[in-house]
């Protein structure tokens, strides 16, 4: 693992290293979206669902865009201005495609 993969400038919006759970990313204009898998807490009973984090970076550092779970009953939670944004459906479609076939490499 090189310093460029794990360091103070490659962090998720929640402060974890950007390589932890990274499934891939996509871009629209200046916005770069990264999708992460956050596994359930195995130390608890019952185990919760897997959580997926979508971060966005438009040059000002990673910020949380959305979180959602693998439970089909749960709706995505959009952060701030992303709530009801016209890009939401497009973002979720690409995030779910990465979950189904991660861009690891």
Query: Tens digit of pLDDT per residue, the chain (105 long)?
Result: 333 444 455 789 998 888 999 999 999 999 999 999 998 877 777 778 899 999 999 888 899 999 999 888 899 999 999 999 999 999 999 999 999 998 765
In the chain, alpha helices (H): 88-100
- Residue 9 inside a domain? The answer is no
Q: What is the DSSP string of 66-96?
A: EEEES-TTSPPEE-GGGTT-TTHHHHHHHHH
Q: Domain of residue 96: give its range.
A: 22-100
In a domain, 2, yes or no: no
Residue pair 91/33 in contact by the 8 Å Cβ criterion: yes
User: Which is nearest to 71 in space by CA: 50, 96, 100?
Assistant: 50
Our count of domains for the chain comes to 1
């Amino acid at each position: 693992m090189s310093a460029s993969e794990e360091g103070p400038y490659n962090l998720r919006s929640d402060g974890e290293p950007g390589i932890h759970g990274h499934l891939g990313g996509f871009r629209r204009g200046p916005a770069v979206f990264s999708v992460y898998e956050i596994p359930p807490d195995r130390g608890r009973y019952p185990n919760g669902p897997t959580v997926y984090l979508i971060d966005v970076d438009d040059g000002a550092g990673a910020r949380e865009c959305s979180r959602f779970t693998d439970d089909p009953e749960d709706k995505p939670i959009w952060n701030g201005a992303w709530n009801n944004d016209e890009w939401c459906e497009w973002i979720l479609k690409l995030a779910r495609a990465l979950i189904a076939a991660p861009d690891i490499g």
